[in-house]
Each structure stands twice: as C-alpha cells, then as structure tokens.
Amino acid sequence: MTERLYLSDSYMRECEAKVLKAEGRFIELDRTVFYAQGGGQPCDTGKMATQDGQEYKVVSVKNSAEEVSHEVDHEGLRAGDKVKCVLDWEKRYKHMRMHTSAHIMAAVVHKEYGALITGNQLGEQQTRMDFDAPQFTKEKIPEVEAKANEVIARDLPVSIAFEEREKALARAELFRLKDVLPKDLKVFRILSIGDFDVQADGGTHVKSTKEIGRVKIVDMKNKGAENRRIYWELE
Ligand SMILES: [Zn+2]
C-alpha cells in the first residue's frame, strides 16, 4: 500500500521513494507526495528522478484500489528503482488554498441555508461548488462572500487528526458532501478549521486560513430547482 505522505503533511514538496511496480508508464511507489485526482481536487504533477539522473515527468496520478498510480511521460522505470519525487509546487499550493476556501464556502452555505454539497471542482484559477439550497439567489452572493472572507481573515489554524471509522461515522456533522464514503477506509482523517468547521477529508490544505487570501464569487447558476452552482476565484 502506498503511503500518502500529504495526508500528514501537505507542505511536503518532495520525497525519496522506491518503485514497487512499473507497468509501462504506470508506476506504483512505496510512498508518495503526489495527490491522486479525487474529491474534486485535480491530481498533482511534477517529476521523478532516478539516482543516475534520469528524469520522468509525472503527468497524471490516480488512485487504484489501495495504491497510487503515477503516470509518467515515458517508460524505463523498474521495480526496485529509487526515485526522488518533486511536486509542481506552485500548482499544488494553489490547490491547497482553493481546497481550504472550499471548506469555508461549504460551511457558510451549510450554516446559512442548511445546504449540503452535491459537487465541486477545484481549479488553479477558479473553483465551482454545487449545493442544494432552493432559496439561494444571486442577491445572497455578497453576504456569502463577506462571511467567507470574515472567516478567512480570522486566520484560523487548520489542523488534522485521525479517527477510527466507527467513531467518525457516529458524527454526522463530519460528512457534508453528498457523495461516497470510502468503503474500505478504517481510519478517517478529520480536518478542523479553528472552531469554525470540522470535516472528514482526504485532501490537501493550507495550515492557516490567512494563506487563502480573499474569495471573490464571480458567477452563479441554477442547476435545476434545488441545486445552485457558484464559481469563485482567489485574490
Ligand atoms: Zn479538504
């Protein structure tokens, strides 16, 4: 099983790792700093370098069962090779800021409108989030934006803890996303944003809300009778 180093430290930009399996351009490692696409967060990119200096670009990263599958730009790596993994940090850091802002936005629409999140897609430049709140209209945007920015400006610490499945599942407030619960997960990772919000979550986040900057909601669409979609950027 690949050890996902970002789960305990999202600021790790590089690591040494061993190739466990190589099938053409698809590489499994014993440990990784690369985030695999999932939970609305795009995968990381970057590179792997062997001890003799050969470089492989990491173009895509996916979860495959218990392993993390890294797609590199050309073949050549073999099981047993030692590699140094390096993230495209600028992109990852933007995702961390966006991801943390998405928690705050989700908590705000939940607290204000009782909305559950039905979908989200993080991007480097823009993020969108869907939630079910039929009473939400364009007029409410300034209020939601102001509330989110208020929380960010409090510079709350963002921390993680791990909790056993049974205990975590007993706390309904940890699961605001309407989608899947990982079936085989024995331990859940719990993310706390100061005293403002707590969620079960496997993504990458900044360590204090001030790093987000400010959110600016740039658009909103109705997606059916219940669902609303907002788009925001970071300033
Ligand atoms: Zn998260």
CATH at 53: 2.40.30.130
Average pLDDT over every residue of 36-45? 92
From 38, 56, 87, the end of a domain falls on 87
Please report the pLDDT score of residue 178 as a whole number.
55
CA distances in angstroms from 224 to 133, 134, 230, listed in the order given = 11, 9, 13
Ligand 1 center–CA 114 separation, angstroms = 19
Q: Measure 100 CA to ligand 1 centroid, in angstroms.
A: 6
CB 61 within 8 A of CB 70: yes
- Calculate how far, in angstroms, residue 21's C-alpha sits from the geometric centre of ligand 1: 29
Domain of residue 155 covers 92-234
- The one-character DSSP state at 134 is T
Mean pLDDT of 154-159: 97
CA 200–ligand 1 middle distance (angstroms): 8
Do 52 and 99 belong together in one domain? no
In the reported structure, the alpha carbon of residue 81 is separated from the centroid of ligand 1 by a whole-number distance in angstroms of 32
Q: How far is the CA of 59 from the centre of ligand 1 (A)?
A: 23
How is residue 190 written in tokens? Answer: 């719990």
Residues near ion ligand 1 (CB < 5 Å) are: 99, 201, 203
pTM: 0.93
* Separation of alpha carbons 139 and 39, rounded Å: 29
Amino acid at 59: V
Over residues 97-130, the pLDDT tens digits come to 999 999 999 999 999 999 999 999 999 999 999 9
Q: Work out the average pLDDT over 8-35.
A: 97
Per-residue pLDDT at 180: 56
Long-range contacts of 181-188 (CB under 8 A, 24+ apart): 184/66, 187/162, 187/163, 188/162, 188/163, 188/164
For residue 179, pLDDT over 70 is answered with: no
> Which two tokens mark 173?
């407030």
Instruction: Please check whether residues 83 and 135 belong to one and the same domain.
Output: no
Do 168 and 103 share a structural domain? Answer: yes
Cα of 204 vs centre of ligand 1, distance in Å, is 6
From the CA of 97, how far away is ligand 1's center (Å)? 10
Chain CA centroid to CA 234, Å: 16
CATH number of the domain encompassing residue 116: 3.30.980.10
What string of DSSP letters covers 174-234? G--BSSPPPTT-SEEEEEEETTTEEEE--S---SBGGGG--EEEEEEEEETTTEEEEEEEE
How remote is the CA of residue 133 from the centroid of ligand 1, in Å?
21
Alpha helices in the chain (DSSP H): 89-113, 141-153, 165-169
Measured in Å, residue 5 CA sits from the centre of ligand 1 at: 15
Q: How far is the CA of 216 from the centre of ligand 1 (A)?
A: 19
80 and 97 part of one domain: no
Please tell me whether residues 224 and 112 are part of one structural domain. yes
**Looking at residue 36, what DSSP letter applies?**
P
Extract the tokens encoding 85.
């993994």
Please give the tally of structural domains in the chain.
2
Inter-residue contact 41 to 203 (CB < 8 Å): yes
Select from 87, 107, 136 the last residue of a domain: 87
Residue 111 and residue 145 in one domain: yes
- Cβ proximity of 204 and 103 under 8 Å: no
Taking a C-beta distance cutoff of 8 angstroms, is the pair 117, 133 a contact?
A: no
pLDDT tens per residue across span 48-72 = 999 999 999 999 999 877 789 999 9
How much distance in Å is there from the Cα of 122 to the middle of ligand 1?
11
221-226: average pLDDT: 91
24 alpha carbon – ligand 1 mean position (Å): 32
Return the closest-CA partner of residue 19 out of 91, 65, 72, 59: 72
Distance of CA 75 from the midpoint of ligand 1 (Å): 33
Please indicate, yes or no, whether residues 68 and 179 belong to a single structural domain of this protein: no
Adjacent-strand bridge partners of 121: 128
